[in-house]
Structure 1
């Protein structure tokens, strides 16, 4: 492990060992323990009592954070010519079809979210090897495959995020920036966690939410009381 700086040691000392914080306390503390010199992201990691290898225990969903993520999300709209104007008006950063499909085929993935139409999905299939590992493949369940392209683009720009449990049973999500007021960090966290609670698979037995940690880029993790979100 790299040697901690004086500032990092001071930050780590503010997080009491073995203490479980409530969401309000964590949302304030995560700002105090930030040591990055930039506006770091605030992230939440939720360990779930599910087995992601089983299809009936997969947890995936979308949530619209009330205060957005604080990040300028770059959106590519892969649409037919008749949808280009509305995609641009809704705020898509890149709009088109064949020329962008070719760029992706050549390895270009400089976007955060891709929105497309059902009729275009057939063309995206062969690009799964490029888009899949980067989490960029559009999905009807996340609202990124739709005929209402303008609405999908606007929602993503406003703070709608897609989350999915990883192979270790953990959900990772960015819920804001350290420059946010503590109340806004808390409200975004509550929105995500309450959405997660509604997605508990019926096949999952025992404790559903095993642990919750909040952190910022390069900061220590702050343990959150799982009962504070029920």
Structure 2
């Protein structure tokens, strides 16, 4: 898996935004649209803020969520809330085709199936052009967290976690859907992520992130996080 290391988290955010912008232009030139799913996090929100400044045909970009907490609308725990903060004041607000996860639906299983159907409809085959992922200090990615039943889900592309994590149940893309993406972009910053980044690169299946396919993946990271790579 390719790894690109930069001097700071701020530079990672900027370079990742430039990389995504290039993929958007490339895919739209080839097939007319671009489909992407994003995760949350401090550096990713900075990345999205930078990306929102780019002059791109946003009406042809279709944005999905990798995961979302089961929490009320506009709650600060929600990734959607933080996404809107990141793009606030940009032209992107009016032009973006956004598919939020319906985590307040009465029937969450139905909402998961509906979300997967949206992805299938927009992509035609379930393969998103790009999925952005991060990693936690426990090795989780998306809301695929250690010891959760969702790790064993192979017949659904979107599902609900079986256990609460940091006080919330979550809706998340699952391994089958993530692993068929055309590109997977890992954005990993912070010295506290160094051990898990090394384990990710060595495909350690003892952590959830280690089971993500690496064939079409690359990592954008900073020097502090890359310090323990062997």
TM-score, structure 2 as length reference = 0.29
Q: Larger relative CO (CA 8 A, sep 6+): 1 or 2? A: 1
Largest Rg, 1 or 2: 1
